[in-house]
Copies of this chain bind each other. A is one copy, B any other.
Amino acid sequence: MKQNNIITLTTDFGLSDPFVGIMKGVMLGINPSVKFIDISHLIEPQNIIEAYYTLKFSYKYFPSGTIHMAVVDPGVGSERRPILIESKDYFFIGPDNGIFSFIFENNPSVNVIELTEKKFFLPPISQTFHGRDIFASVAGWLSSDVKPYEFGIPINNPVILKLPEPAIEKGKISGEVIHIDRFGNLITNISETQFHSFISERDGKVRIKIKNFIIPSICKSYSDAVGPKPSSIFNSWGLLEIFVRNGDAGKKLKIKKGNKVVIGL
């Protein structure tokens, strides 16, 4: 695959400090034609799982050859490896802490390189800001047509996150809330595909339980829902979402990430 000149950024650096601007400056110094797309810089500090989900549900919407850089890096300066991943359609650059591990699911031919070639780093290498000194610098060079294998040595044991999967048992699916978006919508880890394989064995009636609330059906659109009661829908990521029409479900129902959601009889 050939890289394009698009680099996306996903970090926990926030928008007040100049850290993101500094990384972009470093990349522009290497490749002036690069184009940046910010995915999010408001990942909760050091929350690798939040970064994982953020990227997992967005990386595919970019053109083939896009370089996805992610820096949520509690292990900066320790033994954790810096890596570059080449999948069928994309490149990923960041710390080897599982942040990109969705790419290994159903994707056996992924190429992982540990970044060891210091000539592509920005000296002197600090112990606190590899986003600037290693990842931005490597992303700049990769976008300038340096080949993946030139950056280091292949590895076959990248860190893989173990994230909660819904349990499909007789008569029910048990999942959990994995993300609450700006609107207060509660996004669960139960996919439409999982749901349909479950429901096809049944008579079409559902009963979704979250905390003490029972939701009796799945809407086709937000506007199908009535009143201030919680409703559900399959959202744009193909996941079951609990919402309150024109309201903030997270606040109204006092639900947090990790809360259980059960679909049953």
Within the complex, the shortest CB–CB distance from A36 to chain B, in Å, comes to: 8
Q: Which residues of B contact A235 (CB under 8 A)?
A: 126, 128-129
| Of B13, B54, B76, the contact of A221 (CB 8 Å cutoff) | B76
Known: A45-B182, A126-B236, A127-B221. A40 touches B62 (CB 8 A): no
- Give 1 or 0 for each of A1-31: 1 = CB within 8 Å of chain B CB: 0001010101011111111111011101100
| Of B77, B126, B182, B220, the contact of A16 (CB 8 Å cutoff) | B182
Chain A contact residues: helix, strand, loop or mixed? loop
For the complex, is A78 an interface residue (Cβ under 8 Å from B)?
yes
How far, in whole Å, are A57 and B129 apart by their CA atoms in the complex? 13
How far, in whole Å, are A45 and B35 apart by their CA atoms in the complex? 29
Copies of chain A in the complex: 3
A37 close to B24 (CB less than 8 A): yes
Known: A77-B222, A221-B77. A21 touches B4 (CB 8 A): no
Which residues of A come within 8 Å of B, CB atoms? 4, 6, 8, 10, 12-22, 24-26, 28-29, 32, 35-43, 45-46, 54-55, 57-58, 61-63, 66, 74-78, 126-129, 132-133, 179, 181-183, 220-224, 233, 235-236, 241, 246, 248
